[in-house]
Amino acid sequence: MIDIGLTHIALPVSDIEQSIKFYATYAQMQVIHRRIDAGRGVAVAWLSDRTRPFAIVLIQTDSVHPILSPFAHLGVGCHNRQSMDALCDKARQEGVLIEEPKDSGPPVGYWAFLRDPDGHTLELSYGQEIGLTVDRTENV
């Protein structure tokens, strides 16, 4: 199988284990590949939620300048509003909730912003209509 289209986003991170834990907790992602990059000697991990062929590639580096902040972000859809609220409660307790949940109605839905260990922004959402919008444009 050949990968076509958007396949990944690469993020520099200062502590790869901390970032893996964050994305496992808040985006239900798991490591699908790990290595030490032969050319640079740095740790690399690919994370996926296994819902589509897309990965976050974490690359450990000494210096991180957050690329996805404050409004630039990765977006993750949650199963329901209750599971999203539970994640936001956990994020609030851990001090990583940076924008409280709000309901912006269709097509944006219910969403909140979290800060990953290096300052990149992760959006949790429920009710966004991206899949529906894609389906509608395929039928046009």
In total, the chain counts a number of residues equal to: 140
Predicted model pTM: 0.91
Taking residue 15's Cβ as centre, other Cβ atoms within 10 Å add up to 15
pLDDT tens per residue across span 48-92:
999 999 999 999 999 898 888 889 999 999 999 999 999 999 999
The yes-or-no verdict on residue 9 having pLDDT over 60 is: yes
pLDDT for the residue 67: 82
The yes-or-no verdict on residue 138 having pLDDT over 70 is: no
- Gap between the Cα atoms of 96 and 109, Å rounded: 21
pLDDT for the residue 18: 98
The yes-or-no verdict on residue 98 having pLDDT over 80 is: yes
pLDDT for the residue 61: 94
pLDDT tens per residue across span 10-55:
999 999 999 999 999 999 999 999 999 999 899 999 999 999 999 9
Q: In which band, very low, low, confident or very high, does the pLDDT at 139 lie, cut at 50, 70 and 90?
A: low
- Gap between the Cα atoms of 51 and 12, Å rounded: 23
**What is the pLDDT averaged over residues 124-137?**
80
- Which segments of the chain does DSSP mark as H helices, in order? 16-27, 81-93, 130-138
Contacts of 58 (CB under 8 A, 6+ apart): 10, 11, 13, 16, 19, 20, 23, 44, 45, 46, 47
